[in-house]
Structures are given as structure tokens and as C-alpha cells.
A and B are shown apart, each in its own frame.
Chain A
Amino acid sequence: MADSLDRRDFFKGAALGAAGLVVTAEKAADAVAAPAPPPVTLPTDPHAHDLAYAQAQSTVTTPPTRVATQGRPASDFMVDVLKKIGFEYAAINPGSTFQGLHESLINYGKNTAPELLTCLHEEAAVAMAHGYAKAAGKPMLVAVHGTVGLLHSSMALFQAWADRVPVVLIVGHHRNPSGVINRPHSAQDMGLLVRSFVKFDDEATNLERFAEAAMRAYKIAMTPPMGPVVLTVAAELQESIVTNEPRIPELVVPAPPQGETAAVREAARMLVASDNPLIQIAKLGRTPKAWDLLIELAETLQAPVDTLGYSSWQKFPSWHPLYGTGGRGYTPDVTLGLEVTDMSAQARAARASNRKTISISAEHLFQGSNIHDYGRYADVDLAIAADAEATLPSLIEEVRRQITPARKTAIEARGQRVAAAHKAGQLDGIREAKYGWDASPVSVPRLIAELGDQIAKDDWAIVSGHQFTGDWQRRLLNHDKPYRYNGDCGGFGIGYDTPASVGGALAHKKNGRLSVAIVGDGDLNFSPGVLWTAAHHKIPLLFIVHNNRAYHAEVMIIQRMCGVRGRGNENAHIGNVIADPDPNYAQLAKAYGMYSEGPIEHPKDLAGAYQRALAKVRAGEPALIDVVSQPR
């Protein structure tokens, strides 16, 4: 491809022919050897905004590079910075505003650490990085085109923001755009486009500032509460020549803050004195250590652990005797929230009934947001502005210190009651899988139970969320390792699961884990191109399409709205169903080069399909099974 032609500027030969300017990729490539660009005649009207004029101006003002760059390209230095940070992967969708960096990554950087992942949409690239970060515990780099690429990224940046997950994104642009088509890809303030939902953005004006900005961006992304960051890097800077190479600073990520000693002691006192304590968690689990620490705290207190709903990372074993809310009739007198973004409802309820709430969270350090996900004001009884994971060791130690023999007896008795109630409730929950067991379309519990049977001997990880499959995963599969479940999107937007699953699976690949994603048909249709990315990069992952042929949540809410307004319910499906014709997702996957089977409508056909697909996944390939399923 001619490097003078922006990916999105490249107009097909037919259009160019109309203006008498036939510039093809091959001719542009040939022109590299020529001493000077061919003469070009511009249209006489310089204000003409027709296609020919735009193309001609673009061709004239950004000619192909015909002379080898003399000296060290600045983007090579940038690659050294990125390598020092330690990025393993860079998810990109190409664009001319970062062509300098792109070339340096693949040639100077030898396409390793970071290795480029070719993505077919920028939202998919960022969502992959989102899923990867939660599974790998560190950010993936993303590089996107100026304005257009960043705007495509924006939804996924929002999801990462809402999920408090680190992503480092580089966006290119032109400081001094000279072409009609380059100008829309540049901005006075690029970061403004996404500033409402990134934690930090910066534009470096020289290489020294770039190195510092990159280190700072990574540090900020990884400091709780974590979040996505954006670095704008001008094409002029990328393509300049290093004249006085600056030092690359060391990456220093600060240790997250622990809770203040007296406050932790008070929290321990309240918990030890409590008759019915409850632990609630959400964005807890930056590292696998949090898993063990939380088990230790829960067992020391014999307190039930409520992993809350879809916005939680749910880092607690689902078949643990303390997993749950304590059983019927268990009314917590002290609720401890660990990285629970919004405890306002718990606090209000507690104050209305003389109960207590404690919040330990980095959210208290949060400086503000245009997005209302921080919730209402939570007047908890004790708020500790600290990273909960970093605070757990001191809290556990203090709880242990304060437990008297008498309290220990009471605590142990409580644990037995809670465990018995949880076990009975969970067994009943499992038994409910019987409903619709042989139904066609396939029931969600059948879909999951058949899967669980086949991966029982694998070291598996569910890399999709469970927003649309209810709690069946945690009922039917024993989430006994911190990586068994990778969490939901964070911002309750569709289109996360499919690409984020590929990122999660990539992180698990080097550990030999078997990754499975259960994605909705609605979700898959937002970024189906990521199936090609998984196939191209040989990322082993079983996609199970929970194909209910609709946005079923929306069917339900429009039904309700129809009812509220008394205008009949017969039209509620309009705009909500994905049928007639019924998309064939197995064929879609095949088109992207992925092994697939389906649509499977009868549960008796599931086991065989899973077996064949899992054989492919275990051999290192992705595969997809399209299951026509009950709504939820």
C-alpha cells in the first residue's frame, strides 16, 4: 500500500480515474524508485470539494517517502520506551497518523513485546485490551488512528473506565495537517474526545516528554482506582529524526495505599463485635493475592461473602461455604464493602434500621467524573480511602488480634449456620437446572452444564461476562480459582463480551488454560471481526453463542412500555429481534477462518458439538458453536 495514502483516504481507482489521476498502490510503490513525484494537475477551482480535488491534494501534499530516512527515527525511540514499560501486545487498527510508530514496531521492534494484534475495529481493540488486563493483571497497548479511530474506541474506553480497568491507548494525529483528508484526523485537543471517561490524557511535544508521558500514563492507569489512559502522539514527532536522544526514565508504579491504622482497627472492632457481618465485593482483585486474602478474612470472621451483581469482578469461590448472603433470614448488622463503587443503597438501608456499613475502597480517592457511575452519596459509618487488597492483610491481622475466645465460639457457630444455609440454597439452585432440560431452543443451564461436563478436567477460564446468562455459571461451575471468571463489561453496554473474551483468552494462552466465552448474538454482532483476529493470531478460545435471536432485555422493556401506554403489545418485537432472516453465526465464523458448528437447536446435539470444538481449542485454535437458546 502506498504510504502516501491514508488507509481511510484511499479512494478506489475508479474514482481517481474520473479526475484523470490514476494512483494505484502498485504505481505508488513503483514511484518509490523515481527521483520525483509525477506532475499533478489540480482542478482549477481550489475550493472544489469533490472527490478528485480531495484526492489530488492529498497525493500532492503527502508524497510517498522516496528517500530512506537518514538518522534514527523518533518512533524507534518510542518503541524503546514501550519496550521498557513491558507491553507484551499492542492491539491496533492501522491508520496513517501513526504510520511512523507502526513501522517502527514491526521493523525496529521486530514485532515482539509488543507484538501487534490486527483488529478490525478500534472498539474491538480496546475491548480486547480490557479483557486482557483483567486476566493478565497488566495493560495491553492499543494504537488507533486520529479522531476516527479514537471515536471508534470511545465505547470500549468507557467500558474500561466503568470497570476500573487499565488500558494504555496511543492515538496519532497531525499537529499541522496539510491535506483535506488529514485535517479531520487531527484535533486541537484530541484527548477531549474521550476525556469524560479516561483517567488521564496527554500529548507530548518532544521525545523527552513522550518518554515521561508514557511512564506517567502507565503509572496512572495502574494506580487504584485503575482506568484507561490516552496518549496523543503527533505524526510529525513520530516521523522526526532523533537529534539528542533523551534518557528513558524508569517505570515507577506506586504501591497502592493501605488503610490508616486506627481506621482499620475500628473496622476490625465493628466486624468482630457483629453478630451478622456481611462482606460485599465488587472491583476487588487487582492481583490473585486478593482471592486468598478475602477467603482468609471471610473464614476468620465466618462471614458470608456477597459478590454482588454484574459489575463485580466476583473474586470469591462460588462453591465456598461462605459464598452468598448468609441464607434466608440473615440480616447483616455490619456490612463491609470492599471496592464497592456505590454503597449508597446499603448505607441508606443501614441507617434506617440502626445497622452499620464500612467501605474500604480506592473509590474514595476518585477525583470526579462526568459519568454518574460513582452513584449517590454513600453516608457509610466508616469510610477508608485505601486500596482494599492492600488493606486486607492489616485488617485480617487486626481481626485476629481482637477475637476473644468467647467471640470465637460465636463466630464458629455462625459459620456453621451460614454454611448449611448456603449449601441447601445452592443445591436447590442447581436442581432448578431441570426446568426446560430437554427443551428446544436449548435452556441456558443445559448449555452451561454440558460445557462444565466437558471441561471438568481442563484448567478452564470463562472469559466472557454473565450479564445475559444469569447466575447459572456460578451455580453450575465451581469457580475455585481467581481466573475462572473474568467479569462483565462494567458499563452495561453490549459489544464487550466477544472482543474482551479474545483478550482474556490471549492472556490465558501462555498458561495453557482453556478459555471459553458465552456470548450473546447481540453482542457478537457488534464486533464480529474479532473472530478473524482470534483465528489469525491463533488464540485458543471456545465461543458459545447464546443465540436467542433478539435483544431480549429490550423486548421485555418495550413490552412493558407498550403496556404502560395501553397501546397493545403486538409491536414490541419491532426493532428488537435479530431474525427473519436468522443470522447463521457458524457460517460467519467459517467466513473468518474459524472452526464452527451450528445452529444447534436441540440439546441432544450439544455434547458432540462441544467435544469436536473443544478438540480444536485444545489444539490451539479458536472455535465457535452457535446454540439457539431460550431467551435467558
Chain B
Amino acid sequence: MITTHRGTEAQRAFLDRARRGLLSLAALVALTSAATAQAPAPATAAPTGNAQRGKVVFETTLRCFACHGYDGQTGSPRLVPMSRSEDIFLAYVRKPATQGMPSFAAVSEQQLRDAYAYIRSIPQAAPAPDSVPLIKGILDRRSKAN
């Protein structure tokens, strides 16, 4: 099986069918889960959207931050680092696999690509916990607690 930064060839074909509404939700869940499981590393292909416009989409137009945090890291689930490829991302947000995630099926493709570009532009590095004195202090106290 060939695995690319956009998932396997099979996954891409699967996504095409998903876009055309030919797949069940359960099948899409299986696909997206598999994509996540097989590609834990951040996506690497350059996004096609505009990150600057995407920030507006993320923070103002669609308010993605309501669940995921302004920086895509403080909410749930975390979006940074983004492991999904652009196409898988688009397919997912249009027909999410979970009830908690709203469907953005009625949103323009360009807006979604821009939002994806913005998410990809967010710096990925969170500080190492031990390098933050407050967090390290809490870790030390918790370790000593029992």
C-alpha cells in the first residue's frame, strides 16, 4: 500500500466517494480514524489556502476557536499539530465522524482551505513541561504526593 502525505491512495478514492455522499458515516469514521492512526506525524504538504484569511475564518466567521481554542491547542480535540491532509480535513469537517463536531458542509471550499492553512501556520511547539517552572513544580508536588 502506498502511503502519501494525503493518506493512502485507497483513502483518497474513499474521500472522493465521501464527497459525493456515497459513503456511510460509519465508513467515514473508519477512514478518518485510520488516517489519524496511520499518520500521527504532522501533515507536510503545503496548504493551498490563505492563512491570513483563514485566521479570520477560524476566529470570526466560523469561530472554530469555540471548541479548539484560539491557537488550536487549548481546546478539544487539539488541532495543532494537524495530522490530517488538506483533503481529509475538508471531507471531515463537511461530514464529521462525531456528534460533537458541527458539520461545515454549507461552508465554501475556499473558506475551509483557508482555515486549514491557518491551522497549519500555527506554531506547533508547546514548551517542554519541565522547562516551565510552574508546571515542573506541580509535577514535582504530584510525584511526591504518593
Contact = CB atoms under 8 A, between A and B. Distances in A.
Interface string A318-354: 0111000000000000000000000000000000000
Contacts of B65: 630-631
B66 A434 contact: no
A572 B61 CA distance: 9
Given A439-B71, A631-B69, A569 B107 contact: yes
Interface string B86-108: 00000000001001111111110
Contact of B69 (A431, A439, A449, A476): A439
Interface residues of B, number: 38
B33 interface: no
Contacts of B129: 430-431, 433-434
A547 interface: no
Interface in A429-448: 430-431, 433-439, 441, 443-444
B100 A563 contact: no
9 contacts: A319-B142, A423-B146, A434-B129, A435-B69, A436-B73, A437-B132, A478-B142, A568-B107, A569-B104
Nearest 7 Cβ contacts at the A-B interface: A563-B103, A563-B102, A436-B74, A560-B102, A559-B102, A319-B145, A435-B73
Contacts of A560: 99-103
Nearest to B73: A435
Nearest to A572: B63
A555 interface: yes
Contacts of B104: 563, 569
Contacts of A568: 106-107
A439 B145 contact: no
Interface residues of A, number: 45
Would you call the interface of chain B mostly helix, strand, loop, or mixed? loop
B27 interface: no
Contacts of A441: 70
Given A439-B70, A444-B74, A559-B63, A430 B134 contact: no
Interface string A266-295: 000000000000000000000000000000
A573 interface: yes
Given A321-B146, A444-B74, A555 B102 contact: no
A632 B66 CA distance: 8
Contacts of B74: 435-436, 439, 443-444, 630-632
Given A427-B143, A562-B102, A573-B63, A450 B134 contact: yes
B67 interface: yes
Contacts of B137: 453
B139 interface: yes
A430 B62 contact: no
B42 interface: no
Contacts of B126: 434-437
Nearest to A449: B134
B146 A630 contact: no
A570 B57 CA distance: 9
Contacts of A423: 142-143, 146
B40 interface: no
Contacts of B103: 560, 563-564, 566
Given A437-B127, A563-B106, A568-B106, 13 more contacts: A431-B135, A431-B139, A434-B126, A434-B128, A434-B129, A435-B74, A556-B102, A561-B102, A564-B102, A569-B107, A570-B62, A631-B66, A632-B75
B143 to A, nearest CB: 7
Interface centre among B63, B134, B143 (most CB of A within 10 A): B63
B25 interface: no
A519 B66 CA distance: 18
B135 A433 contact: yes
A319 B143 CA distance: 9
A550 interface: yes
